[in-house]
Amino acid sequence: MTTELVLRAFGNTHVGRVRNNNEDAVLVRPDLLLYVVADGAGGHASGEGASRLAVRSIENFFGATVRVTHDRPEFDKFGIPSGARRLSQAVLKANNDVIEIAKSSVPHRGMGTTVVAAGFSPRSGLLHVAHVGDSRCYRLRSGHLELMTQDHSLFTDIIEQRPELDDAVLDRLPKNVVTRALGMEPRLRVSIRSHAVVAGDKYLLCSDGLSSLVSAEDLAETLDRPEVPEALVERLIAIANAAGGTDNIAALVIECQGGHEHARPADGAPAAASAASDRLSDPELLILGIEDLDSAGVDRTEGLMRELNELFGRTR
């Protein structure tokens, strides 16, 4: 059973206690059911410009596609939520806009930004989360805090590819290097997932200026307080500043009233059976590039480790 989804949200940023300028940006657009946090990089006007441009670009895309969205089914023929594809398109459009400005304006050369964005679909009661970089989304459900995103960082990439590395080697890795961000290159992979909203859920979108200083226990305890989003956001920012405030801080809390009574998969109808039957002679599983890998005997981690050695040489 699904009841009408009602959202209450608030977001804010703080310069922190060390930085001189604030490169974080937030967007709360309840009329568009759109919520965004961006963490800029590049220094001074560049980082601030990148985050604000990304937020504005995503906002403009959503505003321009409202009518089209109403005419589309909730799920496409592949079972993918239309709202998820729309949110991914918005982030990709923002990436193109950041790159164009960086190319055309000398003061903004080299600017970039991470982003985490949430969009709600009232018809299905789904929350779509798109992210690039290390800005995060957390969900508090029935007192349990869950990280809904995975950082696009050098540390994460190394763990995925070389889990056997000694802890001493991992300790030497810089923890603040992101491997994906808006403004890096035209071809960008946006991570996106859809989740069924359950009555009572609370979602937190934040920059690493919050997540790197506030423990998961403190996040859960704060979000579980029976307070309005405004109070929760200000409390979270205060905790991060009390922990040192070494970076800009962005926090955005969304409280969900209504929605599904129980969680369920966010899938729509499966792809047409006729399409599958037309390919009965195809292999059960295709692994891209496996033949080239076998024939060449290439160790694809060699390049990664070579880059790590060079990085360690530069940072000693």
* Structure confidence by residue, pLDDT tens digits, 131-181: 999 999 999 999 999 999 999 999 888 988 889 988 988 888 887 789 999
- Predicted confidence band at 129 (pLDDT cuts at 50, 70, 90)? very high
- Predicted confidence band at 110 (pLDDT cuts at 50, 70, 90)? confident
**Helices (runs of H) and strands (runs of E) counted in the chain:** 11, 10
What contacts 283, CB < 8 A, 6 or more positions away?
none
Backbone angles phi, psi at 94, to 5 degrees: -65, -40
Sheet (strand 249-260) strand order: 2-14, 249-260, 202-206, 136-141, 144-147
Structural domain count of the chain? 1
CA distances 238 to 14, 186, 245, 266, Å, are: 9, 37, 9, 35
Q: How confident is the model over 265-278, as a mean pLDDT? A: 52
298 domain-assigned: no
Residue 262 has pLDDT above 50, yes or no: yes
Range of the domain at 199: 2-267
Question: CA-to-CA distance for 130 and 84, rounded, in angstroms?
Answer: 8
Q: How confident is the model over 106-128, as a mean pLDDT? A: 89
Which range has the worst mean pLDDT, 39-43, 110-114, 268-272? 268-272
313 domain-assigned: no
182 domain-assigned: yes
Q: DSSP 3-state assignment of 283? A: coil
Question: CA-to-CA distance for 179 and 156, rounded, in angstroms?
Answer: 9
Q: pLDDT for 13-57, tens place per residue?
A: 999 999 999 999 999 999 999 999 999 987 556 888 999 999 999
Sheet (strand 34-41) strand order: 24-29, 34-41, 112-121, 126-132, 191-196
115 domain-assigned: yes
77 domain-assigned: yes
CATH number, position 241: 3.60.40.10
273 domain-assigned: no
Q: How confident is the model over 188-199, as a mean pLDDT? A: 94
Q: DSSP 3-state assignment of 130? A: strand
Judge whether 194 and 128 are in contact, CB under 8 Å: yes
Say what percent of the chain tops pLDDT 90: 59
